[in-house]
Amino acid sequence: MNDSVLHVPRDQLTETVAGLRDEGYVSVLDVTAVDYLEHPGRTDLPPEVSPERFELVVTLISHAAPGRVRLRVQVPADDPTVATLFDLYPGTEALEREVADMFGIVFEGHPDPSRILMPPDWEGHPLRKDFSVGQIPVQFKATQ
Amino acid sequence: MKLPLVGDPKAIVDQGLEGVDHNFVTGKLEDLVKWSRARSCWPATFGLACCAIEMMATGGAHYDLARYGMEVFRASPRQADLMIVAGRVSQKMAPILRRIYDQMMEPKWVISMGVCASSGGMFNNYAIVQGVDQIVPVDVYAPGCPPGPETLMHAILTLHDKITSGEITRRRDETGAGANLTVDQRDGQSSTGVVIRT
Amino acid sequence: MTATDAAVRRRDDSAVLRISEDDGERLEAESNASDTSMIMNMGPQHPSTHGVLRLMLEMEGETVMRSKPVIGYLHTGMEKTAETLTYLQGPTNVTRMDYASPLFSELAFSMATEALLGLEVPPRAVWIRMLMCELNRISSHLLFQATNGMDIGAVSMMIYGWREREEALRLLETITGLRMNHNFIRPGGVAADLPDGWRDEVLTLIDALPARLNEFDTLLTGQPIYRERLQGVGVINTAECLALGVTGPILRSTGYAWDLRRDMPYLAYDQMDFDVVVGTYGDCFDRYAIRLNEIRESIRILAQILDQMPTGDYRVQDKKVTPPPRARIDESMEALIHHFKIFTEGFKVPAGEVYAAVESPRGELGCYMVSDGSAVPYRMHIRGPSFVNLQTLPHMMQGGMVADAVAIISSVDPIMGEVDR
Ligand code: SF4
């Protein structure tokens, strides 16, 4: 839980990950994203990083010196694209597809950019904050 | 107790066939058909989520669904009479569920196992169909999350009763709707300790 | 094979079929008689796919050339639902993900919440958590033995596996009140203290199990037909596993000893004496043997837990996260209000983000949590090991028979609830 956190500019993600791979980070554990729609001016970022709507979170693990590193990448809402990590770590394929499906972030160069969890004809990206949970109000029928 | 036509159960247990009073059992053909329908009601494997694990447990050694002639879970819907919808039905799965139901041969029955299948349960959101009865007619709802094997068996036996009485088939023919029965939860009332005999 | 090679293999003449379902159907309709390959659909309603996994297989006769797992048939929107549930309600939600080992998801969720809160869990709670997790690991691996046997055709294994699992479930029911989906491990500790007589019950279980496991050995391990079906089937190597992000028994079956319990200890695993079981060939048989022997290791851990279980509180005495004791509610108005507040409004968690991971029976189960300072998580993501592990399927299946595909799926032991979430 004392993982190191790196803030990486979007265009340097691939290089950073390649560098980390050479340092002994053997696996990408997780690729996910957060939609900060409701927190445009959040303050938890270092001053040189300007917040954007989406944040891509990539977790890598090193086995030789056990530890994880978490990369946080700001992705703007008007151009939600990131270069794929597939060529470095093919295991990111499904994870990136999930992020694309759930958040609508496009991974450039991804070999199979289809929806993974939702039906292919589904509209919208469920984990975005402006997608409603879709709750049906619970009706309590008279209990006899 | 003396069963009509057959004889004293104790004598049958003790003496085998010798204890049977009559060599013939007479009855109406209709009763016989209903009886055999209820006694070999093969379920289709339709395990979806957590409830499926409990459904498998019901088929296991402890609870032994074979007692009711139901241990053969058919992989092909064409050989099955009963669909136990065990688990949450997602929007993506719903069309497939309907297709499998359509492939089953009449007469067919549906048990909705667990709160997810019955009403969406705690997953009141975009992904889950809020009740499988929107897709297929349901005969018995088994409550619980998951319903334990006892509850599932209670649901199954309730269904068997209705099949034997013929009520369900009649209603199906008339309206196409399921029986919509709800049973009580029977599991989790008491827990017993570990008993392993070596 | 290095990671880049694996990438090339996946992209070009790869093992992964990269066409959509509609394209698959169209191709199939257009193919003519001279075309010997075909695309076969397997699932989502299929006996051996452990729920609702669907596979598209490109076949040449009976040989699988390429394949593609199609998932999402159990997508439950749990990560979205988690954004509407308080931190105290959260475990109810995540426990329904991996329903064969629910306690691990609860543990990861609770550890993430506690990390955000900066809470220190009392020792007894830590040890109870460890006890529960190891019991759950046993029941999960027993479930694997049952379903694996059934998938291969050793149908009676279904009965044997369930026979033992049922005892483990009984014990879990005695302690947590439920057979599955326990919601027992919660932020701040566990839901209740261990009941009277728990020690004897655990002892009964771990005394009887080794003999039963030896029975499994007799039934399966030395059985020529069983070995024939599994040995040399679904081979994968360490480099491929690491490149694909695979963890758990699949990674260990390649001879690579990586177990979070030993290498990045959490709870009190650093005080436990146990072995990490590894395989040699990375085939289905190794994965079977690893899971069987991990049950034995869990029994060893349980025995140590029984000896060293500390006394004390089973949850933190922090008024902010802990509801008042049940008895106090009848006496004091404040306690009643406190109880009501905690269960309706929950408690606020400082803003921040954290990733907590545990070693579940399937591999690294991580929880990524973002808090914005309110009483519900801003974002909760579970890194499900089955989801990532499923990517190995095309690689293991390539060039094998379609009958082996069933053995391979079963040896990955995916739980679809966790794959689709
Ligand atoms: S009712 Fe409960 S146990 Fe059954 S599928 Fe739904 S969440 Fe799982």
CA nearest to A110, candidates A93, A135, A125: A93
Mean pLDDT of C380-387: 90
DSSP string for B36-66: HHHHT-PEE--B-SHHHHHHHHHHSTTT-GG
- C303: tokens are 């025995």
pLDDT digits (tens, 9 = 90+) for A25-67: 888 889 999 988 877 667 777 777 788 888 899 999 988 888 8
CA nearest to C385, candidates C290, C289, C248: C248
Residues 6+ apart with CB under 8 A from C289: C221, C277, C279
Distances (CA, A) of C401 to A120, C61, C75, C397: 30, 9, 30, 8
Q: Return the partners of chain C (3 or more C-beta pairs < 8 Å).
A: A, B
Whole-angstrom distance, CA of residue A89 vs CA of residue B17 = 71
Q: Is B159 in the pocket of ligand 1 (CB under 6 A)?
A: no
Q: Is B49 in the pocket of ligand 1 (CB under 6 A)?
A: yes
So what's the pLDDT on residue C1? 39
So what's the pLDDT on residue B67? 84
Query: Cis before residue C377, ω within 30 degrees of 0?
Result: no
Mean pLDDT of chain A: 83
Does residue C14 carry a pLDDT above 70? no
Give the residue carrying structure tokens 């709160």.
Answer: B115
Q: Touching check for A120 and chain B: CB below 8 Å?
A: no
Cross-strand pairs, A60? A28, A69
Alpha helices in chain B (DSSP H): 9-15, 29-39, 50-59, 94-103, 114-119, 149-165, 167-175
Q: Touching check for B127 and chain A: CB below 8 Å?
A: yes
Local structure of residue B89 (DSSP, 8 states): P
Does residue C170 carry a pLDDT above 50? yes
So what's the pLDDT on residue C33? 57
Position A79: which residue type? D
Whole-angstrom distance, CA of residue B104 vs CA of residue B111 = 14
Q: Touching check for C96 and chain A: CB below 8 Å?
A: no
- On whether the CB atoms of residues C395 and C69 are closer than 8 A, the answer is no
Whole-angstrom distance, CA of residue C44 vs CA of residue C26 = 19
So what's the pLDDT on residue C299? 92
So what's the pLDDT on residue C35? 65
So what's the pLDDT on residue C8? 47
Q: Return the partners of chain A (3 or more C-beta pairs < 8 Å).
A: B, C
Residues of chain B with pLDDT under 70: 1-6, 22-24, 170-171, 173-175, 188-198
The interface pTM score, or ipTM, of the predicted complex is 0.88
pLDDT digits (tens, 9 = 90+) for B157-198: 888 888 888 777 766 766 677 777 788 787 766 656 666 655
Mean pLDDT of C223-239: 87
Give the residue carrying structure tokens 């008007």.
Answer: A78
Q: Is C182 in the pocket of ligand 1 (CB under 6 A)?
A: no
Residue C25 pLDDT class (50, 70, 90 cuts): low
Contacts of C84 in chain A (CB under 8 A): 133
So what's the pLDDT on residue C107? 92
Position A4: which residue type? S
So what's the pLDDT on residue C109? 92
- Between strands A106-108 and A54-62, the pairing is unpaired
| Count, residues in chain C | 421
Give the residue carrying structure tokens 């593609």.
Answer: C68
- Between strands A106-108 and A81-83, the pairing is parallel
Position C376: which residue type? V
Whole-angstrom distance, CA of residue C387 vs CA of residue C170 = 29
pTM: 0.89
So what's the pLDDT on residue C181? 87
Cβ of B124 within 8 Å of Cβ of A119? The answer is no
Does residue C252 carry a pLDDT above 70? yes
So what's the pLDDT on residue C381? 92
So what's the pLDDT on residue C136? 92
Q: Which of residues 56-115 of B touch A (CB under 8 A)?
A: 91-92
Residues 6+ apart with CB under 8 A from A18: A88
Does residue C262 carry a pLDDT above 70? yes
Cβ of A93 within 8 Å of Cβ of C391? The answer is yes
Mean pLDDT of C127-144: 91
Mean pLDDT of chain C: 85
pLDDT digits (tens, 9 = 90+) for C324-347: 887 788 888 888 888 888 888 888
CA nearest to A52, candidates A106, A9, A104: A9
Whole-angstrom distance, CA of residue B159 vs CA of residue B146 = 19
Nearest residue (CA) to ligand 1, atom 8: B50
Whole-angstrom distance, CA of residue C151 vs CA of residue B8 = 44
- A12: tokens are 């340097």
Residues 6+ apart with CB under 8 A from B133: B112, B118, B178, B180
So what's the pLDDT on residue C320? 81
- On whether the CB atoms of residues C147 and C161 are closer than 8 A, the answer is yes
Compute chain A's Rg from CA coordinates.
18
Residue C11 pLDDT class (50, 70, 90 cuts): very low
Nearest to A119 among B92, B124, B130 (CB): B92
Contacts of C18 in chain A (CB under 8 A): 111-112
DSSP3 helix / strand / coil % (chain C, rounded to 5):
50, 10, 35
Cβ of B125 within 8 Å of Cβ of A135? The answer is yes
- C262: tokens are 């030993």
Cβ of A133 within 8 Å of Cβ of B127? The answer is no
Whole-angstrom distance, CA of residue C140 vs CA of residue C365 = 15
C51 or C202, higher pLDDT: C202
Using a pLDDT cut of 90, give the percent of chain C over it: 16
Residue A143 pLDDT class (50, 70, 90 cuts): very low
B84 or A131, higher pLDDT: B84
CA nearest to A26, candidates C108, C251, C11: C251
Three-state DSSP state, C115: helix
So what's the pLDDT on residue C9? 44
Sheet holding B43-44, edge to edge: B43-44, B82-86, B109-113, B140-142, B181-182
Whole-angstrom distance, CA of residue C240 vs CA of residue C256 = 12
Cβ of A132 within 8 Å of Cβ of B92? The answer is no
State in Å: Cα B116 to ligand 1 middle: 5
Local structure of residue C195 (DSSP, 8 states): P
Sheet holding C37-42, edge to edge: C37-42, C54-60, C63-70
Q: How many CB atoms lie within 10 A of CB C271?
A: 12
Ligand 1 mutation target, pool B46, B48, B50, most atoms within 8 A of CB: B50
- On whether the CB atoms of residues C329 and C339 are closer than 8 A, the answer is yes
Nearest residue (CA) to ligand 1, atom 6: B116
- A56: tokens are 């891509």
State in Å: Cα C100 to ligand 1 middle: 12
Mean pLDDT of A89-100: 88
